[in-house]
Structure 1
Amino acid sequence: MIKIKLDDLNITNNAVFYKLKKSLTKKQIKEVFKDLCEAKKGKNKNVIAVRDNTRQKDVYISALVFSVEKNPVFIPEINIKEIKYSYLLLVEMNDTLVVSSLNIPNVFHKFPGKLMGYPYENISNTFAEHNPQFEKLRTQSADIINVGHHKKTIEGYELNTYDVGLNSIALALSVRTENQDLNSITLNTSRIRTNSGRIHIDNFLFWSKKIIIGINSSKKDSFLNVFAKQVEIEQILEGKLKPIGILLNLHVLEHIISESTDDNIGLFIKSADGNFTEMPLSNRKKLFSQFRKSLVIDYDSKSKGYKVHTEDYSILISILIDKLRISIPELKKCYLYSIENGPIRSLESFINKEQNFTVVFDHIEYIYTLKQLFLKQDITQNMDYFYDIMFTEDKLLDCTGEKYIQGSSIQQSDTKFQENTLLNVVENNIWDKNGHLICDDLGDEWADHISFRNSKDKDIAPEINFYISKHGDDTTGASKFHDVIGQALKNIGNIKGSNELFKLKIDGWKKSNYAKTNITKLRSDGNWNIVEKDVKEIIDNVLTVRSIYLVVSFLSKQRFIEEVKQFNSGTKKLKHIPQLIWFMLSFINSAKDNKIQPYIICKP
């Protein structure tokens, strides 16, 4: 076997950086090297160095190279073997472990108690001292209502001035520094790379030292401050944060069941004898209905854990070292089940594996989502931004119903919505009487009202407005707001629909009045021919402004502002306030991402 030396290694400036809590030991490193070789059935094992510090006194180098023989993926059946080499290089310097590797799994868990990740703020600002110009960003939203996780990649020259949105998480960055080096950072793994080709081990050590200096620099780049930052879950374990609200995003599960061919996938209950019976439809609807709401978390001093109680279910929340986990005792035997293939996985396993839930805390700026804990530092400092999109309407104070007043019902002879109903207030007090107003009441309702304004005035832009209305008793609770925001997010794509899509919608509107009454769908003057002509011109116009109005009679702006102040000052920590703020942030962020103006109209 050929003996390989450190000087034979020709590697790239590409490594993962961990903070060293304690120095590694030779015994540990040898055991890890042995385990890696055995796990991959490695051959030609070369342990090049184990904590070798002959190059530099305070730099300890450990290195392993081995080979693996396996069939080529494109010739699996014939006994032909290809040889692939793997290497692992561990460098301990300046209280940091630098890991360079090829064909080797993550080694973080191989050294329990010895390593910890560098904070997001340190890793993201590695190049802050070198006049960084951001050329590529990969981001994702941290919305509490995850109607599909919104990932996007932005490329360009000098993205430092780009508006990344209110609620974005930076996943990866490409940064050009003043010496024209192109660097990349993958934030959730702390992997840093500089494009420089293959280099000698001594050059790699020099590069690693420069990176560690950058990681520990106190300089911060203002551009990165707008992102939500990943933080350690230890903050919950240490009691610095208390979970106070949870939302289970089970729309993915509902979609799997509803879209399954010939109803061959459903929720089944496993009996004591091992047989499976389908959960009755009424029970399934009740399950999704109860878990669709935002839920308040209570601390149970007896079990020293966090619990949620719904009408029929209890949820236990466990805080592990690297994630949150939930268990639902009443659903231990509930499985996602295929008629053809049997049980797929338990409902509890599905929720925890997919991590389809978000948790908010007694500090508004924190949220657990996408399997990680995030900090949005500026959320409480920018509350004026929330207040600026909230407009008040006095007439909402008199509302006693959404479509009809309490104690009555819509009559077939009605030609308009009753006074003091929410839909009547929209038509007579909120809509500005310009253009066309339509009451949308079809099976695929996009909004309660949709208005179109085709302006010929060069100073006034054409408009498409969606009005989504919700009535209820006075509250700043999050559940009602969750419903109305969920509808808004679901229909963001429709407000940007094509001429063909709106033509189909208009054809449906023409066919009938509202809910078998004499209330016409077209609530403004004019006729459908003019509506069709104007809508086509509005959609074709690149200057058209699109807005979504959430019209809610249950929310008071003044009460909301007061309760936010009380929460932030600690005088009255109502548990639903963080959820409500994150719901609003989801709405604002999704609208802005789609070039739509978001508004909330509520009581004074």
Structure 2
Amino acid sequence: MVDDASAEIGAIKINKTRIAMKTLEIPSLAGVFVEDARLVVGTDPNRKTLSKYIDVEDMFSILFSDLALAYIDGSLFRDEALVGGGASFLRHLMTEPLLAATTSEKGTFVAGQAEFTTGSVFRAVADGLAGEDVLICDDLGDEWADFIGVSANANPAMITFYHAKHGNRSLSASAFHDAVGQAIKNLGRLSLVGDVMANKFQGWDATYNHGHAATAITRYMRGGTRAQIEEQVGLAATAPAVLKRVVIVTSSLSRADVEEAFGRIAAGLPVRPNFVQLYWILMGFFSACIEIGAVGYVMCQP
């Protein structure tokens, strides 16, 4: 393995059943260890270096010159769709022109403000990118998503978790690591049922407070009073048919750029490895959604 300056930083070893990370020598990782959080720092006799932990837990990906192959989370995958034009991938991308004009994720905050800052991705979601009858801001605290949208009267009923992110337009995979991780971690919450919901409704009674700014932004952003929203959430959660969606809303991606990259691959032309990594990260997200009966999307620039 080499870094951007072509200096060797590590090596892998191909065994019979897995690929192991033999070495990983990055100066910034030297002296970084993973320990049991229940113990006093530095006292865990089984602590591991970060590079060893990454290897043991299979927390790395390997890309190949054959773009249809990838080694992810300890398993080898083959996906001909990547070299076949990416039609199945593109079906998960929803375009929204408003995202091209955003300049921040949440904007700035001052005491008493009643809305998210104009030009922020959060404001764009609140103003209409999320089209459900009920919209709740769940950001901060025991966060399941940045926004939760519910439509109980649709056929089928619909529950959507929105994860809003901002970034410079690129095909970089790094912009999606946090959003995908958060989205996958909270897939089990999409049902919106159980004793935990009482605490969620109580938490949503409070206005949105960011840092030291106590704003007047209500978390019940659309759908009526708490009682009315509780009723709608209950109806959607217990509906005989309900469509569950998870949407990553990001200003950092353009569908046109993705289509261009797929076109280059189909024509036998090279693409940067970060796009291939982006493809596999998002395909993992889409697949994780399917496994629990949901549909994953990315809402991005045209």
**Is the structural similarity TM-score above 0.5?**
yes
Match of 1:360 in 2: 63
Match of 1:403 in 2: 106
Q: Is the 8 A contact 2:245 2:296 kept in 1?
A: yes
Q: Is the 8 A contact 1:439 1:449 kept in 2?
A: yes
Q: Does 1:594 align with 2:297?
A: no
Gap change, CA 1:505 and 1:566, over 3 Å in 2: same
Q: Does 1:542 align with 2:236?
A: no
**Coordinate RMSD, CA, aligned:** 2.7
Match of 2:143 in 1: 445
Q: Does 1:478 align with 2:179?
A: no
SS in 1 for 2:300: strand
Gap change, CA 1:531 and 1:314, over 3 Å in 2: farther
Once the 2 structures are TM-superposed, how far is the Cα of residue 569 of structure 1 from its aligned partner? 3.0
Q: Is the 8 A contact 2:255 2:301 kept in 1?
A: yes
Match of 1:425 in 2: 124
Gap change, CA 1:387 and 1:343, over 3 Å in 2: same
SS in 1 for 2:293: coil
CA offsets 1:462-504 (integer angstroms, 9 cap, x no match): 1111111100111111000222111111111111242422222
Whichever residue aligns with residue 384 of structure 1, its letter is: A
Distance, in Å, in 1 between the alignment partners of 2:93 and 2:75 is 31
Q: Does 1:328 align with 2:24?
A: yes
Distance, in Å, in 1 between the alignment partners of 2:235 and 2:35 is 49
CA offsets 1:323-352 (integer angstroms, 9 cap, x no match): 342313356766556769863264244443
Distance, in Å, in 2 between the alignment partners of 1:511 and 1:333 is 42
Gap change, CA 1:472 and 1:356, over 3 Å in 2: closer
Once the 2 structures are TM-superposed, how far is the Cα of residue 379 of structure 1 from its aligned partner? 4.0
Gap change, CA 1:514 and 1:546, over 3 Å in 2: farther
Distance, in Å, in 2 between the alignment partners of 1:514 and 1:335 is 34
Once the 2 structures are TM-superposed, how far is the Cα of residue 376 of structure 1 from its aligned partner? 2.8
Distance, in Å, in 2 between the alignment partners of 1:355 and 1:511 is 41
CA offsets 1:341-366 (integer angstroms, 9 cap, x no match): 86326424444344332212233211
Q: Does 1:344 align with 2:46?
A: yes
CA offsets 1:485-544 (integer angstroms, 9 cap, x no match): 111111111112424222221111113334320111111151001111221222122312
Gap change, CA 1:354 and 1:546, over 3 Å in 2: closer
The percentage of counterpart residues that share the same residue type is 25
- Number of paired residues? 289
CA offsets 1:14-40 (integer angstroms, 9 cap, x no match): xxxxxxxxxxxxxxxxxxxxxxxxxxx
Once the 2 structures are TM-superposed, how far is the Cα of residue 551 of structure 1 from its aligned partner? 0.6
**After superposition, where does 1:173-572 map in structure 2 within 5 Å?**
306-308=1-3, 315-320=9-14, 322=16, 323-329=19-25, 330=27, 343-344=45-46, 346-347=48-49, 348-381=51-84, 383-404=86-107, 409-432=108-131, 434-455=132-153, 460-515=155-210, 516-572=214-270
TM-score by length of 1: 0.44
CA offsets 1:353-397 (integer angstroms, 9 cap, x no match): 443322122332111135454333344336111111211111111
SS in 2 for 1:419: coil
Distance, in Å, in 2 between the alignment partners of 1:342 and 1:421 is 43
CA offsets 1:58-97 (integer angstroms, 9 cap, x no match): xxxxxxxxxxxxxxxxxxxxxxxxxxxxxxxxxxxxxxxx
SS in 2 for 1:343: coil
Match of 1:578 in 2: 276
SS in 2 for 1:359: strand
Gap change, CA 1:314 and 1:503, over 3 Å in 2: farther
Match of 1:99 in 2: none
Whichever residue aligns with residue 206 of structure 2, its letter is: K
Gap change, CA 1:349 and 1:555, over 3 Å in 2: closer
Distance, in Å, in 2 between the alignment partners of 1:506 and 1:400 is 31
Distance, in Å, in 1 between the alignment partners of 2:240 and 2:13 is 49
Match of 1:299 in 2: none
Q: Is the 8 A contact 2:170 2:253 kept in 1?
A: yes
Whichever residue aligns with residue 11 of structure 2, its letter is: I
Q: Is the 8 A contact 2:207 2:216 kept in 1?
A: no
Gap change, CA 1:578 and 1:551, over 3 Å in 2: same
Q: Is the 8 A contact 1:400 1:421 kept in 2?
A: yes
Distance, in Å, in 2 between the alignment partners of 1:594 and 1:388 is 19
Distance, in Å, in 1 between the alignment partners of 2:44 and 2:242 is 52
**After superposition, where does 1:42-81 map in structure 2 within 5 Å?**
none
Higher strand share: 1
Distance, in Å, in 1 between the alignment partners of 2:85 and 2:263 is 13
Distance, in Å, in 2 between the alignment partners of 1:342 and 1:499 is 37
**After superposition, where does 1:82-93 map in structure 2 within 5 Å?**
none
Gap change, CA 1:371 and 1:517, over 3 Å in 2: closer
Gap change, CA 1:380 and 1:504, over 3 Å in 2: farther
Whichever residue aligns with residue 343 of structure 1, its letter is: P
Distance, in Å, in 1 between the alignment partners of 2:292 and 2:209 is 30
Distance, in Å, in 2 between the alignment partners of 1:344 and 1:504 is 37
Once the 2 structures are TM-superposed, how far is the Cα of residue 317 of structure 1 from its aligned partner? 2.0
Q: Is the 8 A contact 1:314 1:328 kept in 2?
A: no
Once the 2 structures are TM-superposed, how far is the Cα of residue 436 of structure 1 from its aligned partner? 1.2
Q: Is the 8 A contact 1:415 1:519 kept in 2?
A: yes
Q: Is the 8 A contact 2:83 2:265 kept in 1?
A: no
Once the 2 structures are TM-superposed, how far is the Cα of residue 567 of structure 1 from its aligned partner? 3.6
Distance, in Å, in 1 between the alignment partners of 2:73 and 2:126 is 40
Whichever residue aligns with residue 481 of structure 1, its letter is: F
Gap change, CA 1:481 and 1:332, over 3 Å in 2: closer
Gap change, CA 1:513 and 1:545, over 3 Å in 2: same
Which of 1 and 2 has higher RCO (CA within 8 Å, sep 6+)? 2
Q: Is the 8 A contact 1:499 1:539 kept in 2?
A: no
Gap change, CA 1:559 and 1:319, over 3 Å in 2: same
TM-score by length of 2: 0.85
Which structure has the greater CA radius of gyration?
Answer: 1
